[in-house]
């Protein structure tokens, strides 16, 4: 009697469409998820680069409110808008660059490691008049869909928590 019930159960075609939907839905939605993730990534990148440029311009023109590390970080995060936890995940390096023997920086950009409670000291040297300055920012953000499409392919920083986005700019301090 149990064999007859099993055979009857196997011959039923109820829910056949459900099986097709369950199998095909992820394949159909995958390109949309990829487009959404890459669009958000690009929007964050553009807004972050713009914020760095706006703040660099303000520093170059001598904005008196941008004299400390915390003020510069806050200004970048206020301009960015689309990166959650920006203040806690933003790392800044700012230092003068010698023009006479200019060479591209050889050390890699430092980023915050979310796994560590204590973060390394920040390098912020405002420089003098007519001095070429370099500012590098690194901010971490979390992909919307970390396991699908573009989010799965992004490089994750050494702490294993967050994707590093780096922006750098040069400017000359105005007299």
pTM (2 d.p.): 0.76
Helices 16-60 and 69-80: angle between axes, nearest 10 degrees: 140
pLDDT of residue 117: 65
- Number of domains forming the structure of the chain: 1
Q: Up-side HSE of residue 81: CA atoms within 13 Å toward CB?
A: 6
Buried b (16+ CB within 10 A) or exposed e, 78-115: ebbeebeebeebbbbbbeebeeeeeeeeeeeebbbbbe
In whole angstroms, give the CA distance from residue 43 to residue 32: 16
Under 8 Å between Cβ of 131 and 152? no
C-beta atoms surrounding 74 within 10 Å: 17
pLDDT of residue 98: 81
In whole angstroms, give the CA distance from residue 93 to residue 111: 10
Is residue 2 assigned to a domain?
no
Q: Which has more confidence, 106 or 90?
A: 90
Q: Which has more confidence, 79 or 106?
A: 79
Nearest to 135 by CA among 164, 97, 165, 163: 97
**91 - beta bridge partners?**
138
Give one word for 141, left, alpha or beta, with left for phi > 0 and alpha for psi -120 to 50.
beta
- pLDDT-derived band at 43, boundaries 50, 70, 90: very high
pLDDT of residue 155: 61
Non-local CB neighbours of 149 within 8 Å, separated by 6+ positions: 30, 33, 34, 37, 38
Is residue 86 assigned to a domain?
yes
What pLDDT digit, counting tens, does each position of 151-164 carry?
Answer: 666 665 545 567 88
Residue 150 pLDDT greater than 60, yes or no:
yes
Supply the mean pLDDT for the chain.
Answer: 80
Full strand arrangement of the beta sheet holding 163-172 = 123-124, 90-96, 132-141, 163-172
Q: Which two tokens stand for residue 160?
A: 């294993």
Q: What is the mean pLDDT of residues 94-116?
A: 76
The range of the structural domain enclosing residue 108 comes to 15-173
Among 48-62, 113-127, 152-166, the least confident range? 113-127
36, with CB counted inside 10 A (0-12, 13-18, 19+), is middle
Is residue 54 assigned to a domain?
yes
Is residue 7 assigned to a domain?
no
């Amino acid at each position: 009697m149990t064999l007859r019930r099993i055979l009857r159960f196997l011959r039923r075609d109820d829910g056949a469409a459900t099986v097709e939907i369950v199998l095909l839905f992820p394949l159909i939605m995958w390109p949309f998820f990829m487009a959404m993730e890459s669009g958000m990534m690009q929007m964050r990148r553009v807004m972050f680069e713009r914020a760095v440029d706006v703040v660099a311009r303000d520093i170059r023109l001598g904005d008196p409110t941008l004299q400390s590390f915390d003020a510069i970080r806050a200004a970048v995060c206020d301009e960015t808008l689309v990166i959650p936890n920006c203040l806690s995940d933003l790392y800044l390096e700012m230092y003068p660059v010698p023009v006479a023997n200019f060479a591209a920086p050889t050390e890699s950009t430092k980023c915050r490691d979310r796994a560590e409670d204590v973060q390394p000291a920040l390098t912020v040297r405002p420089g003098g008049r007519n001095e070429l300055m370099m500012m590098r920012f690194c901010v971490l953000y979390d992909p919307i869909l970390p396991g699908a499409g573009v989010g799965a392919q992004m490089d994750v920083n050494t702490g294993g928590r967050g994707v590093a986005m780096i922006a750098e700019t040069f400017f000359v301090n105005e007299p």
